[in-house]
């Protein structure tokens, strides 16, 4: 009788561990998908409302020549 109870307890414990590990891995993958935007979404979202200032290519500054008359 005690061996049968040990086997049943081991089966229940094994199933508990299996579903615990499965639940942790499943929820981790789901949370990553929800919280991390894809690259194409990051380019279309304007968080501050000021435009896409960070993605404008820099143009070289044109310096005006100043004639110093002394």
The pTM (predicted TM-score) of the whole model is 0.48
What tokens appear for 42 in the block?
Answer: 């990051």
**Per-residue confidence of the chain (70 residues) as pLDDT tens digits?**
799 999 999 999 999 999 999 999 999 999 888 877 665 555 556 666 666 566 656 676 677 767 766 5
The answer to whether 46 touches 52, Cβ cutoff 8 Å, is yes
pLDDT attached to residue 37? 60
Question: Measured between alpha carbons, how far is 9 from 1 in angstroms, rounded to an integer?
Answer: 12
């Amino acid at each position: 009788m005690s061996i049968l109870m040990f086997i049943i307890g081991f089966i229940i414990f094994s199933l508990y561990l299996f579903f615990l590990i499965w639940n942790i891995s499943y929820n981790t993958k789901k949370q990553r998908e929800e919280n991390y935007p894809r690259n194409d979404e990051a380019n279309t979202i304007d968080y501050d409302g000021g435009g896409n200032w960070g993605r404008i290519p820099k143009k070289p500054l044109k310096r005006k020549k100043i004639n110093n008359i002394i």
